[in-house]
Every structure is written in structure tokens, then in C-alpha cells.
Structure 1
């Protein structure tokens, strides 16, 4: 079972499922469905689509993720992380462009799962995750200022700086009624946990303020813009639609699709890992990626936006007793019933109220504690986080992740290079008890080297970052020796550049009548050397298992040369 790349958790449920477990899943599914309602609506509107699109995404995406997923308690649906990129795609390519980008992202997620890349996603550097999450949070917050304060700006610029320039210019046009609803929404969400931790503050906020807005409008109070004033909500399930797809469109949208796939993979697996820590279960990362891919392939056909695992809703599921994927399936059914039978009531929800909900979402996403923690740590991590953050806010999420990964890799290679050193020994070689040499139980302090023999010890990975330094170490020694022993007992791996570098070194030394002998070569390195032709170039007899054999071989070569 462990070797299966795809095995949904739902298949493991019914062998010992009971009425008590179903009762817990039923209650949790209902609560999570209610919690997901305001968030799905808010995320849909903030992403630039109709409110019911957010609900359809939560219904279809949530159902598929629970049906096929590799985590027992994962709740799938739209999340705040996608708002920025979805809004940008719609602005540039329209809804058809979003459908195509989400489809491509779904295919990429499927490939990640089937290629067993689930564990590799976990190696995305933490500062990058914190940086772009904090950047998305700031961006979401900035998109809500117009509705939060009722500024009434119809054409808000897409870029961050442009938005705030317009906000500052138009700030004198604040509608205090709308602002009251927005700030009231935030206050209710903050205070609700002090009264009840079971009922979500966002739901209480929307119910209370929607009722208040309805009666105020009936009394003639103006300035309360609602969802119905801006959108025409359809309670019908959309018919499947697939836009025309061509190679040029795929090429144009692929970077955005890749970002959606990477972001979805990171967020869903992060959510699954957090859930595992609470439930004690163990998720199947590759199965989870395949489920996310399937959801993002199906949902766009019905006009939905990208789907991923939602940490807040997943934790709500756990906290309310959900322990199997059945709770996630019930949550999707609850949302479907709300859309079909209570959809018209969404018309009366104030836009300022939804803005308040998203302000809280952005605050929770910001991860400011993680930001402070990284700032107190090493400068490399802080640099990667800061660059990713500012590029996310000021430029583009896709570019931010790409540049963040590039800088993180450069910093990593620099550190690895700094940990690798080259020690040159002439005349005698200092040994330690743990060396690969000791032929008896006694330790030896030093090993006398024959005249004309030098030892070059590489301590650390031998890769392209260290290759040039190794050549420089060879050059600065002085007179050419007769034998150069390259001691590789502490070399865990070699890359193709290092093999090429070693090959060139052997050729150069051959011209100078200098023999190369390798010492302490691990078995996996020996296979690399054989594939790279090194073993054939210097001969098997010149690849020794430890330094004593290498010195004996070097002495033999020197004696033969002296005859």
C-alpha cells in the first residue's frame, strides 16, 4: 500500500466506519460548510469573478479533494493565496484565460503526483513561503480599501503603488456608513471567539450586518452597497464550458499556470502537514497532489477558480470532530444546498462587510510572527524573504517565486562552497583516529609521504562551485610533484562539472608526467567516476580504498620512475 502513488484516504474509511464516526463527520461537515460560505463568496468577488463562482469552486473542488485526497481531514476550495494571481489573469486574459491557466495547473499537479514529487515540494525554502504569503496578504488588504471605506472608485489600478496613489487622492470621499459596516465586521470577527469558538465570526458578522443593512435600506439610508448592487447572482449550476485552446495561449499562460500549481501544491501539502500534527495521521502527499490536480481540471469547466487545501477550514474540520473525508464531502453538499435554496439572500450582503472579512483573512495570512522570527535569524533567509515579499507586492507573484528560488539556491551553494575546503599536504600527512586508514586498533599521528608525493584532501561536496578552487590549489603548490593523491573520503557526491574538472586535471597532469591517484573513494562515487570515464583514464589500480594503499601505490610509481 505504501508504494501506491495514488490511494485516496476515503478507501481506508469504511472498513471500520461506525455511526458515531458518521455523526461526528456530519456535524463537522455542516459547521465547515457554514464557515466556508462567507469565505467562498469573499474570495470569489476579490478574485474578480461573481460570488457564486467562489461557491461553485468550494462545492466541486471541496468534493473532489475529499473524494480523492490523501489526507483524511483536508478541506479544499478557493483560498486567499490565489486572489492576486487570479485577478491578474482575468484582467489580462479574461475568464477564458483563467479557465485555461487553471486547467494547465491541474495537469501540472497531476504530473507532480504521478512523478512522486510530493515530498520534494516540502523542500521549498521557508523564507520564500513566508515572503510570498505575507506579500499576498498585503496585496489582498490593499484591494479591500475601496469597499472598506466606501470610496466608490470604479477603476482601481491593478498595481500596488497605483492603488494607493488613487486611495490617497480619493480618501476625502469616505462613506462613513460603509466604513461603519466594514469596521463593524472586523470588530465582530475579533470579538466572536470570546463568546463562542464554535461559531465563525465571519458568519456572525455577515448575518448581523446583512440584516442591519436590509432594514437601514428600507428606512431610506443610502451608501450601503450590497452584492446585489454589483452582481447578478445565479443559483443554477453552470453548464460545462471549454474555451478555444491553442499553443500560443498555452505559452502565454504557462508561467501563471505554473505559479498556480506550485502555490496549490505548497499550500495543500502544508495544510496536510499541519493537520497530521494535530490528528496524528500521516497524509499521502502524491495522492493529495493528484486530487488537487483532478479538482483543478474539473472546476474550470464550470467556471470555477483554482482549488487548494485550505488550512483554516481544515483546522475547523478537525476542531469540530471531523476525522474522515466524509466530513469534507458533507461540507460540499451543505454549500450546494445553500447555493440552490438560499442563493438569493446573498444579494443583501454589504460589500463593506465582505471587505472586513477579507481584511481579517489578510491579517491571518500575513504570518507576521514568522516574519519577525526570520528577521531575527540568518541574513540569507531574511534577504530571500524580503526580496520575495517586495516582488510579490510590487511586481508579480510568478516573478517573486522564481527570483526567490534562484536567490535561495545561490545562497545555499555559497554556503556549501564555504563549508568545502581543500587541504594540501607535503612530506607528511596528519591522521586522526576516525580516518579511513587504520589497519590496526591503534591510532597513528602522521603518515610520512614519499618524496615527490603530495596529498590534496577535499572536505565536502565536489561540485561546480568548488571545481575552480581545486585547480587553484593545484597551481599554488610550487614545483610539480611526481604523484598527486586526491583524498576523497569526505566527498559525499560529485556533479558532472566536477567529473569534467577532474578529467581535465588528469589530462594536464599526464602532459606534465604527474600521476593521479584517488584515495578513499566511496562506492557511489566510484560508479560516478566509472560513468565519467575517470576510472578508465587513470586505471583501476590507481583508485584506492584508503590512504595507506594510496601512499603505497604512489611510492611504487615514484620508484618505477626513478629506475
Structure 2
């Protein structure tokens, strides 16, 4: 058996730098600086919400972000820690510990690289959109719930990962509510919401308000709220929890390269976390790359190369203490709107974060956690596709069941269970739908052939005869009238057949033979005929049972005296 052809490792950067101009370089540097500034508060917020230190989020954005851009298959995608991972990473840290998170991240990188190498990137596209919407909305709800602790300033040492337990712990500690934290969080959330975000404004005959609006739109709202909240906390000495009080600040350097201790005993416990990280990373990165394709005039992304780059990034980042990384839609869109033309912009974004860490890390000590909670609440709201709930009434029961089922299972249990059950439901409903499309019917009056001999019954088969539809064929003998001597199956509308369908056809032939009824097949299409020949059915029934057209089958029946 021939081995599958492996996908060549060729980053998009190699093609993008051909004919690369100074104009493109300036545009990419400007875009990279902008995205780097946007990524800084998000990287810290995602890390803290995931139950790890803020510098681990920044390191992930630097190391993994650089590798994803340099080695990826997309022109403008930005990689780094993502909101979709928050719930998963937090659960892994609580259940298995930080060291095992690093091991699971590295193992997921191996899986992602193997998926790309084996050309499995296109398979992600076969996941139904209902499942993606369901678990995305579920993760958004969990992110929002996890931020209530810091938003209200509750004194909770460690928030559990389970949904109902989280609610119980939050209610139990409601008496520790901090009004200063709530005021900072809500103010930051409101400012991020109303801060100008559009870059497309009139250029001619504009007043100072429009000019100020355009200038403000180029400054990320997350940075504005972070700076203002930090200044307010430091100047007014507000009694709120900060990065410095909880984590001791952020180191002014990158961590040393240190491989996490690996053992097969740990690896065997991390099978499901590893699969979850790899699956979610593949889905998020390729969805993000498809979004980027629709925003730029450039060659479409290479999904297999993108998966290999994601794999390398997730294998390397844990060696620096980094957490799982993937493509991020918000930062990628910002990158495009800022004028990025190539993967160089993503590499500049990582370099920008590195410079910030080396030069200004001590300034982060006064960043209030409530401000990061406000930012993450905004992220979680934008992450969810809430309008899809209102549109459910326009769709079928299977669509509603899959989406709502995936949503509730993500919230109550976890992403792995939700996707597994969602895929199972999607398969069941697909099988049911396909089975309803298969029909066994007599010819319509308008299409009925003339001169059908006495004792000859005709049935037309429509659709696909597969394991989910064989019951309709098995019921056919009981539907034949008394005196039937020949059954002609017109198969010109039977587009495909599987082995279960062929077995049902063989069973039909045996039942008919016991009743003295001859089976004839007319106008058999290529795929069913090929299966019949390969399985030996055609040789068993004989070539005389096959006819090229329905008329020829009736003529053969007439000549046989039945």
C-alpha cells in the first residue's frame, strides 16, 4: 500500500518576500507596531484568566507569535494566546498542574504538525458550523463568568474550573465585594466599548472632531483603559488587587530555555487535554486564516502549512513557559486594517512585545486586575455569535439541537465532550436526512412505460442506498402484489450504494427467489455496478439480470415469458 504523500514544508514568508519593496516594509512595520500594542494587554489578560502568570501570556505572544508568522501558511495571520483557550487551559492547570499543561501544549504541537504534514488541514472544514457556533458561544459565557471574581474584587484564593461550582463559590464570597474594583472594571469596559474603532473616515473638509476621532481610532482602546486604570490605581492608591500584588510584577527579561520534565506516565494522563488543545488550535487557526483571506487581496492560505507552523509554535513555546497559541481573529483583523502586506508584520508584532518587556515591564506592576477583567468581558462578548440564538427559529430541529446541545455541554461539561456529542448528533441527523432522501417507488403515471407484461412489477430507486436506508428495500417484498413473477428495479436514479445496501439487495434477491420471483436490474450507474462486480454479486446473479435500459429489461422479461 502506498504511503500518503507528505505536504512540503514551505512557509508563506518565502513567497511574500519576493519582490518585497520598501513601501511594503514600512507598511508592515507600522501594522506590526500597532498589533503589538493591541496584543500586550490581551496577552496578559488571557494568561491571568487561564490561571497562569501574565508574563507567560506575553512570552507566548512573542515566541509563538513570531513562529506562526514566520513559518505559517497565511499572509497576515497573527498568532498568540487566544480567548478560546482560556477555559481549557484553566481546567488543565487546575486538574493536572502547570507542568502538565506545558507537556500537553508541546504534545498538541506534535499533533498539529503531523496533521499538516499528512495533509489533514482540509478536514477541519468538515466540522459543522453549528458545532463551531455552539462551543464558541459556550466558551464566551465561561470566559465572562471567570472574570466576575476580578471584576467584583472578590477575595477568592482559587476559582474552580467547574461551571456550577464556580457559581457557588462566587455567591459564597459575594460579601467580599470591592466597590473600587467594580468601578474600575465597569469604567474600563464602558471605555473600550465606546472607544473609536473605525479607520475609514472622510479625508476632505473635516473638522477638529473628526480629526480627533480619526487620531483616537489609531490608538487601541485596550491600551487607553490600561494606562488610565494603572495611573488611577497608582496615584489614588486604590485598594484593588494588581499584577504586582498578586504576581510580584513582570520580569524584565525572557525566561531561560527549559524543557518541561517529560514522562510516559504523565503523557498517558494527558491524552484528552492534548487532543482538545490540538483540535481547538486547528479549528481556531484555520477559521482565522479564512477570515483573513476574505479581508485581503492575496493568495489564499495553505491550511497544511498553517497547521505545521502552529505545531512548531506550540512545541517551542512551552520551553519558555508559554501556554497554547493559535491564530487570533481580533489581532489579525487589526493587522489587516493597519495595512499589513506580509508575514513580516506579525514578526514585527512579536519584536514590539519583546522590546516592551525589556524596557517597560516594571510599569505593569500597578495594572489592576479589574481593568483586565473589563477588557476580557469585552472580548468574550465580541467572541460570541449571540444573534444566532435569535435566528434559531428559522432553522430546523436538528440545527437547533446540535447548536444548543454543543453550547450547553461546553458550559456545563467541557469542550471535548461538547464537540464529541455535537459531531455524533450531526452524524445521526445527517444519516436520518440522507435516509429520507432514499425512495423506492413505482414509476409515475406520466413516466410509466407502455406494454408492461403481466406479472412484472417495476420499482424505481432514488438517492443513495446505504446502511441508514436499507429498511425501505427490506420492506419491498411485502409490498408486491400477488401474482408477481418478475421485479424490475430501475436504478438510473440510484447515485451510490455501500456494502450494507448491497447486502440488502442480495437479501432481496434471496427472498424473491424463495417466492419464485425473478429480479432484474436496469440502468445501473457506475458506482453501484462497480461495487456489485467487486463484491461478486454481478457474477452470482449473472449478466442476464442486468439491462442497459428499462425497456431492455421489460423486453427480456417478455422474452422469458414473465
What's the TM-score, normalizing by structure 1? 0.91
Distance 1:420 1:519 in 2: 18
Aligned to 1:118: 121
- Contact 2:464–2:496 (CA under 8 A) maintained in structure 1: yes
Larger CA deviation: 334-343 vs 370-379: 370-379
Q: Structure 1 residue 180: deviation in Å? A: 1.2
Residue from 137, 141, 153 that aligns with 1:138 = 141
Distance 2:267 2:483 in 1: 58
Aligned to 1:288, what secondary structure does the other structure show?
helix
1:366 aligns with 2:384: yes
- Contact 1:100–1:245 (CA under 8 A) maintained in structure 2: no
1:228 aligns with 2:244: yes
1:278 aligns with 2:274: no
Distance 1:447 1:250 in 2: 71
Distance 1:544 1:172 in 2: 83
- Contact 1:430–1:447 (CA under 8 A) maintained in structure 2: no
- Contact 1:518–1:544 (CA under 8 A) maintained in structure 2: yes
Q: Structure 1 residue 450: deviation in Å? A: 2.1
Aligned to 1:377: 395
Residue correspondence of structure 1 range 90-489 to structure 2 within 5 A: 90-193=93-196, 195=213, 196-217=216-237, 221=238, 223-232=239-248, 233-234=250-251, 235-246=253-264, 248-281=265-298, 282-424=300-442, 430=445, 432=447, 446-479=449-482, 481-489=484-492
- CA gap of 1:26–1:487, structure 2 versus 1, over 3 A, is same
Aligned to 2:475, what secondary structure does the other structure show?
helix
Distance 2:9 2:522 in 1: 45
- 1:199-257 deviations in whole A, cap 9, x for unaligned? 2111111111112111122xxx4x211111111433333323132231x5434322222
Q: Structure 1 residue 430: deviation in Å? A: 4.3
Distance 1:467 1:386 in 2: 31
Larger CA deviation: 288-297 vs 67-76: 288-297
- CA gap of 1:148–1:430, structure 2 versus 1, over 3 A, is same
- CA gap of 1:296–1:486, structure 2 versus 1, over 3 A, is farther
Q: Structure 1 residue 431: deviation in Å? A: 5.7
- CA gap of 1:290–1:485, structure 2 versus 1, over 3 A, is farther
1:88 aligns with 2:91: yes
Aligned to 2:57: 54
1:527 aligns with 2:530: yes
Q: What runs of 5+ residues in structure 2 fail to find an aligned partner?
A: 1-5, 198-212
Distance 1:450 1:294 in 2: 71
Q: Structure 1 residue 345: deviation in Å? A: 1.9
Q: What runs of 5+ residues in structure 1 fail to find an aligned partner?
A: 433-444
Q: Structure 1 residue 136: deviation in Å? A: 0.4
- Contact 1:517–1:538 (CA under 8 A) maintained in structure 2: no
- Contact 1:104–1:254 (CA under 8 A) maintained in structure 2: no
Aligned to 1:461, what secondary structure does the other structure show?
strand
Aligned length: 537
Q: Structure 1 residue 89: deviation in Å? A: 1.0
Distance 2:483 2:405 in 1: 48
- 1:106-151 deviations in whole A, cap 9, x for unaligned? 2222232233222221121111111111110110111111110111
- Contact 2:7–2:304 (CA under 8 A) maintained in structure 1: no
- Contact 2:59–2:254 (CA under 8 A) maintained in structure 1: no
Aligned to 2:395, what secondary structure does the other structure show?
coil
Distance 1:10 1:543 in 2: 58
Poorly superposed stretches of 4+, deviation over 4 Å = 3-6, 429-432
Residue from 489, 496, 500 that aligns with 1:497 = 500
Distance 2:296 2:136 in 1: 25
- 1:310-336 deviations in whole A, cap 9, x for unaligned? 000000000000021111111111112
Q: Structure 1 residue 79: deviation in Å? A: 0.5
Larger CA deviation: 456-465 vs 250-259: 250-259
- Contact 2:61–2:80 (CA under 8 A) maintained in structure 1: yes
Q: Structure 1 residue 6: deviation in Å? A: 4.3
Distance 2:339 2:426 in 1: 40
Distance 1:6 1:503 in 2: 49
- Contact 2:7–2:119 (CA under 8 A) maintained in structure 1: no
What's the TM-score, normalizing by structure 2? 0.91
